[in-house]
């Protein structure tokens, strides 16, 4: 993988104080035991949460699926990816949530067409641009431009993340209270992704207290599925999906989230109380 080979920044980006988070915080590879889970054989399909039961994946604190890091093709030709990582006590969750909003706002010196340095620092090999579709909030979706192969030459994909309400798909007050009672917050919305080619990904995520201390992040994607109005799930048969693609997405996801932990404390300390468009 070429994740350690940094694409050159534009002169306007190099002049920003933010550029140090691009150059001075090099990405590191995943631990070998974790890479074996991602690049090894696929998980048993019986251990994957079925798309039609996707809300079953949401768990109270301390409860897990049989497989938390893995991938597999499903019998209908769609795909399944799940990832898991621990977040140390030294990282406060407010800092991560702050970043996930802040990166959608372009710095004042960014040149239109040059992407978004706030997003590039998260995964320099793959990330290009990230912004609110309406330039204000996520109401109309979040636009992303990225590749997925960590600098190996794959094309960039334009993606839009669309929010949808989980209550329309069966999330009940009782289930919400059960999860909250364990000490875990419940977000009643999630996202699905559309692309600049036919296809869709249905996604869920949890950041919750870890029984061993700190927090943990769980995520899951059903490749080739999307929600529709009225609580209906649509199978998008034209979605690109094979085992190599699933491994690529899982590796990209885990690598960037581990890298975020390397710089988030310093970034938050420097930028959280500056103007929203600070360089």
Please give the backbone phi and psi of residue 74, each rounded to the nearest 5 degrees, phi first: -95, 160
**In this model, does residue 182 exceed pLDDT 60?**
yes
Look up tokens 């949460």; give the residue. Answer: 49
> What's the whole-model pTM score?
0.95
User: What pLDDT does 2 receive?
Assistant: 62
For residue 231, CA distances in Å to 164, 171, 215 come to: 10, 11, 31
**Token pair for residue 11?**
């002169």
**Token pair for residue 71?**
């991938």
- Summarised one tens digit per residue, pLDDT across range 190-244 is 999 999 999 999 999 999 999 999 999 999 999 999 999 999 999 999 999 999 9
User: What pLDDT does 58 receive?
Assistant: 98
User: What pLDDT does 4 receive?
Assistant: 67
Which residue ranges make up each domain of the chain? 17-271
Helices and strands, counts by H and E, the chain: 7, 10
State how far the Cα of 30 lies from the Cα of 102, in Å rounded to an integer: 26
Tell which CATH classification among 3.90.1150.10, 3.10.129.10, 1.20.1560.10, 3.30.530.20 matches the domain 17-271: 3.30.530.20
């Amino acid at each position: 993988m070429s994740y350690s080979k940094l694409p050159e920044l534009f002169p306007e980006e190099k002049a920003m104080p933010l550029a140090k988070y691009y150059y001075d915080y090099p990405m590191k590879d995943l631990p070998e035991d974790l890479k074996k889970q991602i690049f090894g054989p696929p998980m048993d399909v019986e251990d994957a949460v079925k798309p039609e039961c996707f809300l079953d994946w949401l768990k109270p604190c301390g409860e897990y699926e049989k497989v938390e890091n893995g991938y597999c093709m499903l019998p209908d030709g769609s795909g399944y990816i799940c990832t898991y990582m621990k977040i140390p006590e030294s990282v406060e969750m407010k800092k991560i949530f702050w970043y996930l909003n802040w990166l959608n706002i372009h710095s004042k010196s960014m040149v239109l067409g040059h992407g978004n340095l706030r997003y590039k620092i998260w995964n320099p090999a793959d990330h290009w641009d990230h912004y609110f579709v309406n330039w204000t909030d996520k109401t109309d979706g979040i636009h992303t431009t990225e590749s997925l192969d960590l600098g190996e030459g794959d094309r960039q994909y334009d993606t839009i993340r669309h929010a949808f309400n989980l209550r329309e798909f069966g999330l009940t007050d009782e289930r919400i209270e059960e999860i909250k009672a364990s000490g875990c917050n419940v977000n009643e919305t999630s996202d699905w992704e559309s692309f600049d080619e036919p296809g869709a990904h249905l996604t869920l995520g949890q950041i919750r207290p870890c029984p061993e201390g700190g927090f943990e992040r769980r995520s899951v994607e059903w490749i080739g599925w999307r929600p529709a109005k009225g609580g209906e799930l649509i199978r998008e048969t034209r979605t690109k999906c094979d085992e190599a693609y699933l491994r690529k997405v899982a590796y990209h996801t885990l690598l960037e989230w581990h890298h975020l932990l390397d710089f988030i404390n310093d970034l938050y300390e420097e930028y959280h109380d500056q103007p929203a468009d600070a360089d």
